[in-house]
Amino acid sequence: MGTKGEETRARLIQATRALMEAQGYFGTGLNQVLSESGAPRGSLYFHFPAGKDQLVGQALTEAGQEVGALIAGLTGTERSPGEVVCALLAALGDRMERSDWVKGCPLATVALEISAGNEPLRRICADAYSGWQEALASLLVEAGRDHAGAEALAGAALALLEGALLLARVHRSRTPLDQAARTVELLLA
C-alpha cells in the first residue's frame, strides 16, 4: 500500500476512534466516519472489507496500544507503582479536560455497549484491559509485591481508574480523578 493509501487508512481509523469514544458504537455510522475522515466510500471497504466491525476493531486495538504505550512510558521511570497510576490518571484527565469532557477512556464507551453482543470486539477490549492490568501488576511485582497480590491490586487500580474517568466525564470535573489518585496512593503504598 502506498503512502496515500496508508494516510487514508489512518484517517479512517482516527475518525472512528474519536467518534466511537464520544458517541459509542451504535451512535456512530459509517457515513459519519467517512465525513469526518474525508475519505471516499470506496476506500473504506478497500481497507476494511469486513466493514464497520473490522474498522472498529482496528480503532480499539490502536487505542488500547496507545494507553499501553503510555503505561510503559510511565513505568520506565523511577516512579513508584502508585505514582505511575496517578500519572496515568493525570494524563487521561488532561486529555479529557482538553476535549471538553468528550474523551475519557478510549475503550470504555464501546466496551460497555458491545460486551454482551459482539464477541470479537469484546475480546479486543478485554485483551487491552488485560494488557494494562498485566503492566501494572508487573510494576507491583518489581516493587516487591507477590504475584497474586500484585494482580489483585492492579485490577483494583484499573477499576478505580476506569470508574474515576467515567465519573469525571459525567460530572465534568477532575474531582473524581483527584479522589481516585489519593485512594491509589493509599492502596499501593
Q: Where are the domains of the chain?
A: 52-187
Q: What is the per-residue pLDDT for 4?
A: 83
pLDDT digits (tens, 9 = 90+) for 123-170: 999 999 999 999 999 999 999 999 999 999 999 999 999 999 999 999
The x, y and z cell numbers of residue 115, run together, are 460486551
Please state, in angstroms and rounded to a whole number, the distance separating the CA atoms of residues 103 and 155.
22
Q: 40 by DSSP, 3-state: which? A: coil
Q: What CA–CA distance (Å, rounded) separates 179 from 156?
A: 14
**Which pLDDT score is estimated for 78?**
82
d(CA 7, CA 135): 31
Q: What is the per-residue pLDDT for 139?
A: 93
Separation between Cα atoms, residue 135 and residue 140, nearest integer Å: 9
For residue 184, the model assigns a pLDDT of: 94
- Rounded to two decimals, what is the model's pTM? 0.92
Question: Is the confidence at residue 1, as pLDDT, over 70?
Answer: no
What distances in angstroms separate CA 109 from CA 3, 105, 106, 121, one per listed residue?
31, 8, 7, 12
What share of the chain in percent tops pLDDT 90?
90
| pLDDT tens string 46-102 | 999 999 999 999 999 999 999 999 999 998 778 899 999 999 999 999 999 999 999
User: Domain 52-187 carries which CATH code?
Assistant: 1.10.357.10
